[in-house]
Structure formats: structure tokens, C-alpha cells
């Protein structure tokens, strides 16, 4: 494998784990600007999809995922298994995303 592989599973088909390096995580926080807050609040009055909030959550999760991958590479892993995402609202207008998994070195069988 030339690139780091990620999976939500606890096995990687065609590979075996040769070294378990522990848990790795990435965490990110993002906040909406005042215009996003007002726009999202107005959207709740009329109903429907609130794309401003969706984009905020997607960007926050992507940033946490990327941080997790960077940390895995720093310690020499070539795969992350059991990847999980978690998100919470830390305070009004602030989104937190956590991404974690088990970092391993795998070898093709």
C-alpha cells in the first residue's frame, strides 16, 4: 500500500495487521459567522434544508478527519481501522467534530 487506508471496519480485506499503534484522533471546532447565524435562523421559520449548517458540519468533520490522518502518518501507520465520527454543539453557533480510530501497520497477504 502506498497511501494510508481508512475503514470503519475492524479488518482490511486482503491485509493483515502486523502492528497496532494505538488510538489516534482529530478534533476540530468551527463557528458560524453572524450572517450564517441569521440566515440559518430565518430558514428555521420557513422550514426546509439549512445548507449553511450542513456546510459547517461537513467542513468541521473533514478537518477532524484530516487531522486524524496526519497524526496517523506521523507515527508510521499505513491504515486506520474502526474509524468513528462524533459531533456536538459546544455552545450556540460552535460545532465540534471528533474523528478517531485504531492506527495500525498492515501488510498484504
- How far apart CA 70 and CA 99 sit, in angstroms, is 12
Distances (CA, A) of 30 to 70, 73, 98: 19, 24, 12
- How far apart CA 107 and CA 35 sit, in angstroms, is 49
Number of domains forming the structure of the chain: 1
CATH no. for residue 58? 3.30.110.70
**Pair 82, 101: CB distance under 8 Å:** yes
Q: What is the DSSP string of the chain?
A: --S-EE-SSS--TTEEEEEEEEEEEEEEEEE--HHHHHHHHHHHHH-S--HHHHHHHHHHHHHHHHHHHHHHHHTT-SEEEEEEEEEEEEETTEEEEEEEEEEEEEEE-
Average pLDDT value for the chain: 83
State yes or no: pLDDT of 6 exceeds 60: yes
Tens digit of each residue's pLDDT (9 = 90 or more) over 51-79: 777 787 888 899 999 999 999 999 999 99
- Single pTM value for the model: 0.79
Q: Which residue segment(s) compose the domain that 101 sits in?
A: 5-108
- Partnered with residue 108 across adjacent β-strands are 15
Amino acid at each position: 500500500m502506498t497511501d494510508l487506508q481508512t475503514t470503519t471496519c475492524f479488518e482490511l480485506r486482503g491485509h493483515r495487521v502486523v502492528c497496532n499503534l494505538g488510538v489516534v484522533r482529530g478534533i476540530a471546532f468551527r463557528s458560524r459567522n453572524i450572517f450564517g447565524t441569521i440566515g440559518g435562523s430565518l430558514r428555521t421559520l420557513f422550514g426546509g434544508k439549512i445548507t449553511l449548517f450542513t456546510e459547517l458540519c461537513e467542513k468541521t468533520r473533514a478537518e477532524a478527519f484530516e487531522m486524524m490522518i496526519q497524526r496517523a502518518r506521523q507515527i508510521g501507520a499505513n491504515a486506520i481501522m474502526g474509524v468513528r465520527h462524533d459531533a456536538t454543539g459546544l455552545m450556540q453557533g460552535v460545532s465540534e467534530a471528533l474523528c478517531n480510530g485504531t492506527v495500525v501497520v498492515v501488510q498484504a497477504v
